[in-house]
Structure 1
Amino acid sequence: MQQEEREKRRVYAKISKAALCHNMEAMQASLPAGIKMAGVVKADGYGHGAASVCEVIAPYVAFYCVAAAEEALELREKGIEKPILILGPVPGDNYASLIRAGIRPSIFTEEQAASLSTAAVALGIRAPFHLAVDTGMNRIGLRADETGVALAEKITAYPMLDFEGMFTHFYRADEWDLETTERQTARFRNFKTALAEKGLKPRICHVANSAGILNLHGTDFDMVRAGIALYGIYPAEEMAHTVRLKPALSLHSTVTYVKEVPAGEAISYGGTYVAASAKRVATVPVGYGDGYPRSLSNKGEVLIHGKRCRILGRVCMDQFMVDVSEVREAAPGSPVTLLGADGNERITLEELAEKSGRFPYEFMCCLNRRVPRIYC
C-alpha cells in the first residue's frame, strides 16, 4: 500500500495471504498422508474476513466450517462453492435454505433429524449432515455411549438424509497433560466402532481442532479442522514449539494530531491520567468503536517510527492518545502499528490480550467491520 493511500485510512487491518498459506502448508506437512483439512472461518474468519480467507486457502481444504446458518449462507452468496459444515445447532426453519445451498448442518437430536428430513423430502433433495458427538465437553452432541448409538440409529433412519460425517470437539488439547484428550479420542473411536457394528459408517470422521493438529492428537481420522492456527495464532503458549506459524493479521493507523501538554494537565475522559511533567502527545484515530479494547487505557502501547509509545488516559470510542515525547519525528501522518512489527519492535496478540484482560481469540473477533481488511 502506498503512503498516500495509507494516510486516507483512519485504521486498517493488513492480512497476509502468504502467512495464511504458510500456516496451512505447515499444518498439512505435519499430518499423515491423505488426511483432509477443513478451514474454520466462523466469526468472519476470526476477524480476518471469512470470504477472502476461503478464497486464499481453497487449494488446501475440502471443507469450510462455520458456527451459524447465517455465516454459511453469506459465504454461498459471496461465491464460495466448496462444502460448508455448520458446527453449531441450526433452527429448523433454516433447513430448506441449507439443503438448497448444499450446506451441511450438525445433527444430534431426533427432532433435528425429523425437521431436516421433512425439508429434504419436500425439496426432493438428499440432505448431507454431520453427527455431533459429545465425548466430554458437554456443549452439544449425542452421548458417545449405548444411548447415543440408539439415537444415531433413529436419526439416520429418517428418509432423504445422508450420514456424511461425524465429529467431536477437544476441550483440553492445548495443555501439556493430554490424558483428557486421549480419553476423548478413545471414546470417539469406540463410538465409531459401535456404529459400524450397526451398519452406520460415515464417510468423513473428524476430531482434531487446531490444538489437536499441533499436538498430533486425533489426526488419524479422515479430516482435521484448522481454526485459530490457520490465522497464525497458537491455541496456547505451550504449543509454540510445534509447527511454526506466522500471524496473518496486523493492525495499523496514522497519527492525526501532535500537541504539547503541560505538566498538571489531564488527558482523555475522566482525567485518569494527569501529566506529571510536560508531554508531547499524539492522537491516534482508533477506539473501542473499532473493537480496540478500552481496557488498554493507560497501559497499552503502540509503535511509531519503531518505538513503543504508551497510551495516556482512557481509550475513547474513536480515538486515543499516546506519549511521543521520545519520538521527536512523530507528526501527523506518521504510521502507527497497533498490532504487528515496526523495525525491531513488535506488539504481539498475546501481549495485547494479557494487557487488556482479553483472550487472544476474543481480541481478533472483536475487530469489527468498521476496520477495513487489506489483503496483500
Structure 2
Amino acid sequence: MMEYSRTAAWIDLDAVYGNVKALKENTRSGTRICAVIKADGYGHGAVPIARKLKGLADYYAVATAEEAFNLRNHQIAEPILVLGYVPEDAYEKAVLEEIRLAVYTYEMAQRLSEAAEKCGKQAFIHIKLETGMNRIGFKPGEEALTQMEAMSRLPGIMLEGIFSHFARADEEDKSYAERQYQIFDGFVSALKKRGVEIPLKHMGNSAAIIDLPQFDVDMVRAGIALYGMYPSNEVDRRRVRLAPALRLTSRVIFTKEIEPGETVGYGGTYTAQNRMKIATIAIGYGDGYLRNLSNRGYVLLNGKKAPITGRVCMDQLMVDVTDIPGVRQGDEAVLVGRDGEQMISVEELAELAGTFNYEFVCDLGKRIPRIYLDGGKIVGKKDYFTDPYEIVL
C-alpha cells in the first residue's frame, strides 16, 4: 500500500473477534466479558476494536477517564469501567456519561455521591478490593466492611460491581491466585451477610480465563489475550487457541556492500567478518521498536530471516541480507507476523529484548499508522498525524 511505504501496523479485527469468542467458550455459561482496551487497545486501537466487539463484549475497561470519554465521543455506548485513578474534577462528567469508576477509598465514594446529586443521576461504581497485588484497593477487614455498608447508603451511589486483580495467575503454580480468590470470595460473602449484595463480581484476567475458569464469578476481564497474545509462557495454551492480531511491516530503503573489518551503526557494535550486504529498514526506537533488539533481533525479507546488525537507531535499523538473494530498495520487511513459511511473534521479540509482549505492543509509536482489516479487506486506518492540535501561541 503505497500510502504507507515507510512503516505500518496491520490490525486484523477478525482475529480479535475470534479471540474473544475463544475466550468466551472457556468461561462458565452466563459469564460476562469485559474487553480491556486501555492504552489505546494495547497499541492496536481502542475504538475500532470496541466497534468490532459490539454485541460480543458486554463491558469495556480502560485505565483513565480520558480514555473512557474518547470512547463515548466515538459513540461507544456499552458500559465502560475506568480501572484506575480519576481526578475529582472529572467526576461530574463521568457521572453524566455513565462511566463506571473504580472506587478504592470511602472519600472517593463520598465525592462521587456529591457529583451524582449535583448531576441528578446515579454514579455507577465498582469497588476495588486488595487481595494480594498491593497496588490500589480496600484492604479486606472490618473497617472495609463497615465503609462499604455506609457506601451502599450514600445518595446517588449504585454499587454495581466489586473486583480484584490476580497478581500471579499467569504462573504455573496457582497457589497464590487461589489464595487471592479465597480472600475475595470470603469478603463478598461477608458483605452479603450484612445485606450488601453487589451484582457484578469480577476478578479473572486473561491468565485466569485460560487456566482458572472456576474463578470466573459474574464477569471476566480479558486484556492481552484479546490481541492474540498469551500472558506468559506458563499458561496452558491448549485450553484457548489465540490468533495474533498484529502484523508490523516496514521497507528496505537502502542496500550496500561492506568489507571485512567495517562496523555498522552507533558505537561500532557490529563488525563484519566477511564481505556483506547490508539493508537499511525504515523503523527504529522512535517508532517503538525496541533498542534492546540491537544485534539480537531479526526481520523477515523475502520469507527469510535477516539478523539485525548494530544498534537500532531512532528511525532506522540495519540487517544482514548477505544470504538473501534479490533484496532491493522498496522491498517489504516484516517485523512482526508471517512472511512465507517464517513467522516472528511479539513474544519472541520481547524475550530477545528482555521484556514482555505487553510492553512491546504498548510501545508502538504514533509514527506508525494503524491499518484495519476485516474480512481480509482494509476497512479503516488511524494516522495519528492527521489529528488536529490545539494551537498554542
Q: Structure 2 length normalisation: TM-score?
A: 0.92
What's the offset of the Cα at 1:241? 2.6
Choose which of 286, 290, 297 in structure 2 pairs with 1:289: 286
Match of 2:228 in 1: 232
Q: Measured at CA, do residues 145 and 217 of structure 1 come closer, stay the same or move farther in structure 2, by a change above 3 Å?
A: farther
Q: Measured at CA, do residues 249 and 201 of structure 1 come closer, stay the same or move farther in structure 2, by a change above 3 Å?
A: same
CA RMSD, aligned part only? 1.3
Q: Percent of pairs identical after alignment? A: 45
Q: Which amino acid aligns with 2:261?
A: G
Q: Measured at CA, do residues 94 and 266 of structure 1 come closer, stay the same or move farther in structure 2, by a change above 3 Å?
A: same
Q: Deviations over 1:5-55 (max 9, x none)?
A: 247431111111121111111111111111110000011111111111111
- The CA distance in 2 between the partners of 1:85 and 1:373, in whole Å, is 25
1:361 to 2:358 alignment = yes
Match of 1:116 in 2: 112
1:148 to 2:144 alignment = yes
Match of 2:26 in 1: 30
What's the offset of the Cα at 1:191? 1.1
What's the offset of the Cα at 1:329? 1.1
Match of 1:251 in 2: 248
What's the offset of the Cα at 1:238? 2.0
3-state SS in 1 of match to 2:35: strand
- The CA distance in 1 between the partners of 2:96 and 2:215, in whole Å, is 31
1:47 to 2:43 alignment = yes
Choose which of 203, 216, 228 in structure 2 pairs with 1:207: 203
- The CA distance in 2 between the partners of 1:227 and 1:99, in whole Å, is 25
Q: Which amino acid aligns with 1:27?
A: L
Match of 2:257 in 1: 260
Q: Measured at CA, do residues 24 and 8 of structure 1 come closer, stay the same or move farther in structure 2, by a change above 3 Å?
A: closer
Q: How many residues align?
A: 372
Match of 2:335 in 1: 338
Contact 2:209–2:216 under 8 Å retained in 1: no
Alignment of 1:103-142 (within 5 A): 103-142=99-138
3-state SS in 2 of match to 1:95: helix
- The CA distance in 1 between the partners of 2:186 and 2:155, in whole Å, is 27
Match of 2:295 in 1: 298
Q: Measured at CA, do residues 354 and 163 of structure 1 come closer, stay the same or move farther in structure 2, by a change above 3 Å?
A: same
- The CA distance in 2 between the partners of 1:164 and 1:79, in whole Å, is 22
Match of 1:186 in 2: 182
What's the offset of the Cα at 1:218? 5.2
Structure 2 residue ranges without an equivalent (≥5): 374-393
Q: Deviations over 1:351-375 (max 9, x none)?
A: 1011111121101100012111111
Contact 1:113–1:155 under 8 Å retained in 2: yes
Match of 2:308 in 1: 311
Q: Measured at CA, do residues 374 and 106 of structure 1 come closer, stay the same or move farther in structure 2, by a change above 3 Å?
A: same
Contact 1:31–1:219 under 8 Å retained in 2: no
What's the offset of the Cα at 1:147? 2.0
Match of 1:274 in 2: 271
Q: Structure 1 length normalisation: TM-score?
A: 0.96
3-state SS in 2 of match to 1:113: helix
1:79 to 2:69 alignment = no
Q: Which amino acid aligns with 1:367?
A: L
Q: Measured at CA, do residues 49 and 139 of structure 1 come closer, stay the same or move farther in structure 2, by a change above 3 Å?
A: same
Choose which of 166, 169, 178 in structure 2 pairs with 1:173: 169
Q: Measured at CA, do residues 35 and 8 of structure 1 come closer, stay the same or move farther in structure 2, by a change above 3 Å?
A: closer
What's the offset of the Cα at 1:219? 4.0
Match of 2:319 in 1: 322
Structure 1 residue ranges without an equivalent (≥5): none
3-state SS in 2 of match to 1:60: coil
What's the offset of the Cα at 1:106? 0.5
- The CA distance in 2 between the partners of 1:173 and 1:146, in whole Å, is 27
Match of 2:377 in 1: none
What's the offset of the Cα at 1:157? 2.3
Contact 2:181–2:215 under 8 Å retained in 1: no
3-state SS in 1 of match to 2:326: coil
- The CA distance in 2 between the partners of 1:143 and 1:154, in whole Å, is 16
Choose which of 218, 225, 230 in structure 2 pairs with 1:222: 218
What's the offset of the Cα at 1:269? 1.4
- The CA distance in 1 between the partners of 2:153 and 2:200, in whole Å, is 18
Q: Which amino acid aligns with 2:332?
A: P
